[in-house]
Amino acid sequence: MKEGFRQSMAWLHTWSGLLVGWVLFLVFVAGTASYFRDEITLWMKPELHQAQHPDVPPEVAAGHAVALLQQRAADSPRWFITMPTEREPGVRVSWANPPGVKPKNGRGRFSSAMLEPATGAEISEARETRGGEFFYRLHFDLHYMPAIWARWIVGVCAMFMLVAILSGIVTHRRIFKDFFTFRPKKGQRSWLDAHNATAVLALPFHLMITYTGLLTLMFMYFPAGVQAVYRGDQETFFAEMFPSGGDRNAKPSGEAAPLAAVGPMVAEARAHWGGAPVGRITVNNPNDARATVAITRQIGQATPSMSYNTPTVIFDGPSGRQSKTIGDEPSGAAETRGVLYGLHIARFSSPFLRGLFFLSGIAGCLMVATGVLLWAVKERQKYAKAIAKGGRAGFGVRLVDGLNVAAIGGLPIAFAAYFWANRLLPVGLEARADVEIRWFFIAWAVAAVAGLAWPTRRLWQLLLTVGGTLLATIPLLNAATTATHLGVTLPSGQWAVAGFDLVVCALGLSLLWAAWFVGRRAAKKAAAPRPAPAVGGEMAEGVR
């Protein structure tokens, strides 16, 4: 039964991967970009490139934030302060608008502002853009559809992916050897090797990222456990899952009482965590006798934990005395989930580790791309005779070819268009952030329509060249539109901005290399038509 088992798993691997391959490609590309969400956002706000960020004691930064909130939002029911990190040097304050107040620059129920941590001065608003946040949302909320649909679509695709990975592993006879095998210029064999290499090279990452991706939304996908145990009472479940100390819904007393200084609370919370930095400060019912201040630990490089769970210290607002601590010793199950969740988001990682996550993500994109390409290459050989006589391949092959060009050839152009729009659109344009996103989808739509209409080698070459050129020239675009080009950012060590320029340029050059390679093969084929290479391979045998 061994032979039958491998064959059936190879069949399952092929179809579970192929059917959702193009959505997975989008999810992988957007997710990989999201590892550098903050850096992408910074690059897309050139007004902030030259800001200087001296180290400021967190007590001081928090004090400035509270001063601004007292001035602007003294009667708000809730304040939020997000402390600076290595990757986001400003202090973000936001507040719930008091009932009946409609601010002119706030969105709905909340208003926000960004502060310089050292001085408390408001950072002048940069150009309006979603920046890296767009890719982060695209990764699981897609776009132009309700988030709940998108999350189900992405979840189903992720489950297909998990099945494809597991069945892909068990079909391999020699998984270790495949890791070191690449036989270039051998047609289908080369695609298979490339697929194996990118898949096996980062296999632990692929498994981890797919499982943990499902885990982030598991209570939505599998509500049965919560339903059975809490008998449908989701609210109680989430209150037990994310304990807030009961202060979140506390009603104000209506009796005014000045808020104690927040600085000492920040220092006390830090001391409680052995010096780990503060992430977020929430003030409930500020300036009321029942005010509470909840301080949560930061998730980041400086925190000695991979977990996404954040311990919290709660203070009594008027007296400033510590009232309780939450999450100092999470249960085994909570910590398991927290670490798995944390692994997916990778907020804990140092720049080097973040780079490895990014490279693994690229390997994932290549794995998906080579997988769907391999199917088309293999399938087309069934029609080799018909094509040689001037006929066409079957509908399935033509459809997959078209979708491959549309997704793999088109997506780099969409990304490039988004970055170019950021610099070419007038700074004061109405609804600027939405227009940037529209450029992304218009560019992709044009490429996709072309790909579906003419899925030819020439079009591959054209799209790869366009995408590659647009990305490779990003440093020039940055130099032409800002004062912070590579000549400035490299000597002064502004690695976030310089890194964006260099990485995007390198990706563009890789696409140009691919375009050149495709073109050379096309020329060769035209010069000397040769028979299709022999069909073979562990995963190809007997699989139809």
> How many residues form the binding site for other proteins (CB under 8 A)?
43
Residue 374 lies near other proteins (rule: CB under 8 A):
no
Closest C-alpha to 68, from 105, 120, 104, 126: 120
* Max Cα-Cα span within the chain: 89
Query: In the set 71, 124, 249, 331, which binds other proteins (CB under 8 A)?
Result: 331
Cβ partners under 8 Å of residue 228, min gap 6: none
Residue 340 lies near other proteins (rule: CB under 8 A):
yes
Query: In the set 34, 76, 94, 167, which binds other proteins (CB under 8 A)?
Result: 167
Query: In the set 60, 153, 215, 452, which binds other proteins (CB under 8 A)?
Result: 215
User: In the bound complex, what is the minimum distance in angstroms from residue 262's beta carbon to other proteins?
Assistant: 31
Residue 211 lies near other proteins (rule: CB under 8 A):
yes
User: In the bound complex, what is the minimum distance in angstroms from residue 51's beta carbon to other proteins?
Assistant: 42
Q: Name the residue nearer to other proteins (CB basis): 169 or 452.
A: 169
Residue 396 lies near other proteins (rule: CB under 8 A):
no
**Window of 139-147, 284-292, 334-342, 369-377 that interacts with other proteins by CB under 8 A:** 334-342
Closest C-alpha to 168, from 10, 22, 368, 21: 10
Residue 19 lies near other proteins (rule: CB under 8 A):
no
Query: In the set 51, 96, 153, 166, which binds other proteins (CB under 8 A)?
Result: 166
Q: Name the residue nearer to other proteins (CB basis): 213 or 317.
A: 213
Using CB under 8 A as the criterion, what x/- string covers residues 221-260 for binding other proteins? Answer: xx-xxxxxxx------x--xx-------------------
User: In the bound complex, what is the minimum distance in angstroms from residue 397's beta carbon to other proteins?
Assistant: 18
Crossing angle of the two packed helices 410-424 and 457-472, in degrees rounded to 10 = 30
Q: Name the residue nearer to other proteins (CB basis): 242 or 383.
A: 242
Nearest 5°: phi and psi at 122?
-70, 135
- Here the tokens at position 365 are 């994109």
How many other C-beta atoms can be found within 10 angstroms of the C-beta atom of residue 4?
Answer: 9
CA–CA separation, 106 vs 87, rounded Å?
24
Alpha-carbon Rg for the chain in angstroms? 27
Task: Check if the beta carbon of residue 25 is closer than 8 Å to that of residue 33.
Answer: no
Nearest 5°: phi and psi at 308?
-85, -10
CB-based burial, 50-74: b 16+ in 10 Å, e otherwise: eeeeeebebbebbebbbebbeeebe
User: Which residues are at the interface with other proteins (CB under 8 A)?
Assistant: 1, 3-5, 7-9, 11-12, 16, 159, 162-163, 166-167, 170, 211, 214-215, 218-219, 221-222, 224-230, 237, 240-241, 331-334, 336-337, 340, 542-544
